[in-house]
């Protein structure tokens, strides 16, 4: 089965907070020009214009040590993978023109496009792909290694063939390799100065980083050697930190940004200012991480009470100004893993929440701590809602830079406000949310039946008619057995100047093929 000819249902992307890797504040780097115009091939000569994107700068430009799922958007500008996800989240060819699984699903062979190069002109052949994937699998403290545990060996039988031998059937591999996990890094760079990749990416993406000022701006130029260069119409690209909600519209009007993420509260102002606004469905979902090793959530009845105590409709209206949808599960409507039977599983029911607290031995209510990185907004609204059923929540604010260490590494908090944006494969999303080593599973418990259901997801070919049913069954089991409390899906709200053409509505990772700016 080759991916290039099938229409497969999807899979998708991130955790807003990851494992924070500091690079030092205020560092500024100028990068040598990369890319050989003589190798432009399909690059063409019609590209032009500059796009300034108000979004987010990555925690690291090295995908192996990038610590936030959010980073994938910026990293996709400078790196390419064997596959990519289309607008529906289906794995389609990228550096690889096709792939094929063995009959038993324990190996997959990728065929590379001919004549590929990295942005510095180095050959991007099977040997380079092998070295890059092996680095992700084996490098000490690699943050993508947990996603590659099913890969037993990578080999390069010839210059255009990459063979992945698997320890078990895993049909999620093409989706998995579409994200950070599969971004191909130039071996020439990590073999000579691996640490330098944190600020000087070495990839084969649509753009090449030319200068970088940490926490301020990344300047990129079109890569004429990119495998799909003819689809890239922009000559220059800039990435800026996400603007403050109060100033983002003014920044767009002044030309400080051409495209920027905006909160729902600013949509009306953006439209009134003559800006175009796109509402792009995404895989981001607001969620509460619950640690069942910490009281009072060591009692399952309290966990269940929490889920019924939240008025998600009210949260959505206030926090997102109605943009998005109430959600009780990790996948949005329209996604292959969305389980209709779980749509209203924990509909707001304060009476039931109070009854569950009584069953848990707390007839007079219970006290707990709600940890967050910003007290105002969602935490305060949750605090007020929980008080109505007898859950007295004290808000605990921790610095965003320390939250990952405190919540995900030390597992020191009982309840944490978070956002999850999926991953490039559904099985990977399950691992992050519900796996025994999952970042967003601080209690580190996974029911055996759920682990078996997720294993079945990996063992089912994506183009099998059984795949949607298998995936939805795993979703249904997860939301009923795990403590994660999902709140609402968060769309990507992008405002843009009229001089910029519409931005493609990619569900998982924002891409810019075909975008023009004048």
The pLDDT tens digits for 303-321 are: 999 999 999 999 999 999 9
Question: pLDDT tens, 74-122?
Answer: 999 999 999 999 887 889 999 999 999 999 999 999 999 999 999 999 9
Instruction: Name the CA radius of gyration of the chain, rounded.
Output: 23
Average pLDDT, the chain: 89
- pLDDT tens-digit series, residues 443-457: 999 999 999 999 999
What CATH number does the domain located at 3-241 have?
3.40.190.10
pLDDT band at 125 (very low <50, low <70, confident <90, very high): very high
How big is the chain, counted in residues?
518
Mean of the pLDDT values across residues 199-221?
A: 97
Distance of alpha carbon 339 from alpha carbon 470, whole angstroms:
11
- What pLDDT is recorded for position 289? 96
* Sequence ranges of the domains in the chain: 3-241, 282-491
Q: Is the separation of the CB atoms in 180 and 63 below 8 Å?
A: yes
**Per-residue pLDDT for 344 more than 70?**
yes
Task: Render the burial of 394-412: b for 16+ CB within 10 Å, e for the rest.
Answer: ebbebeeeebbebbbeebe
In order, the DSSP letters of 418-440 are EEE---SSHHHHHHHHHSTT-TT
Return the H-helix or E-strand segment holding 489: strand 485-496
Confidence label for 40 from pLDDT (cuts 50, 70 and 90): very low
How many angstroms separate the CA atoms of 516 and 502, rounded? 8
CATH class of residue range 282-491: alpha beta
Total-model pTM: 0.83
Query: Mean of the pLDDT values across residues 217-229?
Result: 97
- Percent of the chain at pLDDT exceeding 70: 91
What pLDDT, on the 0 to 100 scale, is given for residue 244? 87
Measured distance CA(283)–CA(515) in Å, rounded: 22
CA pair distance 215, 431, nearest whole angstrom: 31
Which residue in 94, 93, 98 sits closest to 108, CA to CA?
A: 98
Q: Can you tell me whether residue 266 is helix, strand or coil?
A: helix
CB atoms within 10 A of CB 102: 13
Q: At what angle do helices 378-387 and 312-319 cross, to 10 degrees?
A: 150
Backbone angles phi, psi at 433, to 5 degrees: -80, -40
Is the bond leading into 339 cis (omega within 30 degrees of zero)? Answer: no
pLDDT over threshold 90, residue 335: no
């Amino acid at each position: 089965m080759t991916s290039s000819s099938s229409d497969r249902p999807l899979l998708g992307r991130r955790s807003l907070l990851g494992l924070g890797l500091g690079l030092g504040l205020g560092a500024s780097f100028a990068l040598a020009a990369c890319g050989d115009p003589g190798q432009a091939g399909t690059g063409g000569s019609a590209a032009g214009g500059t796009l300034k994107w108000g979004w987010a700068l990555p925690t690291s430009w090295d995908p192996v040590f990038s610590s936030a799922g959010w980073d994938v958007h910026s990293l996709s500008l400078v790196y390419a993978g064997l596959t990519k996800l289309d607008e529906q989240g289906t794995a389609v060819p990228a550096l690889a023109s096709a792939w094929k699984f063995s009959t038993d699903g324990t190996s997959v062979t990728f065929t590379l496009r001919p004549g590929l190069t990295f942005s510095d002109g180095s050959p991007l052949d099977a040997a380079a792909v092998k070295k890059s994937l092996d680095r992700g699998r084996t490098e000490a403290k690699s943050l993508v290694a947990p996603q590659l545990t099913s890969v037993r060996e990578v080999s390069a039988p010839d210059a255009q063939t990459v063979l992945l031998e698997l320890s078990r059937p895993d049909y999620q591999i093409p989706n998995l390799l579409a994200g950070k996990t599969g971004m191909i890094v130039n071996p020439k760079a990590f073999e000579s100065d691996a640490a330098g990749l944190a600020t000087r990416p070495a990839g084969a993406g649509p753009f090449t980083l030319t200068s970088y000022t940490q926490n301020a701006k990344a300047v990129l130029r079109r890569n004429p050697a990119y495998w799909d260069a003819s689809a890239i119409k922009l000559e220059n690209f800039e990435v800026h930190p996400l603007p403050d909600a109060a100033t983002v519209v003014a920044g767009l009007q002044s030309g400080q940004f051409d495209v920027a993420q905006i909160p729902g509260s600013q949509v009306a102002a953006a439209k009134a200012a003559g800006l175009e606004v796109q509402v792009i469905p995404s895989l981001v979902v607001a969620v509460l991480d619950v640690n069942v090793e910490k009281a009072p959530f060591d009692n399952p009845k309290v966990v269940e009470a929490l889920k019924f105590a939240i008025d998600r409709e009210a949260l959505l209206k206030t926090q997102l100004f109605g943009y998005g949808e109430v959600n009780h599960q990790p996948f949005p409507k329209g996604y292959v893993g969305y389980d209709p039977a779980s749509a209203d599983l924990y509909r707001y029911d304060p009476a039931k929440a109070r009854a569950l607290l009584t069953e848990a031995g707390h007839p007079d209510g219970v006290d707990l701590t709600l940890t967050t990185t910003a007290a105002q907004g969602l935490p305060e609204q949750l605090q007020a809602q929980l008080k109505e059923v007898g859950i007295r929540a004290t808000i605990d604010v921790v610095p965003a830079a320390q939250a990952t260490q405190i919540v995900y590494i030390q597992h020191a908090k009982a309840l944490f406000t978070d956002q999850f944006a999926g991953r490039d494969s559904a099985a990977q999303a399950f691992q992050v949310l519900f796996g025994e080593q999952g970042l967003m599973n601080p209690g580190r418990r996974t029911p055996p039946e759920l682990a078996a259901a997720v294993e079945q997801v990996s063992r089912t070919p994506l183009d099998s008619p059984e795949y949607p049913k298998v995936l939805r069954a795993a979703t249904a089991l997860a939301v009923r057995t795990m403590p994660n409390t999902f709140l609402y899906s968060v769309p990507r709200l992008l405002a843009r100047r009229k001089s910029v053409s519409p931005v493609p509505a990619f569900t998982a990772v924002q891409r810019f093929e075909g975008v023009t700016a004048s």
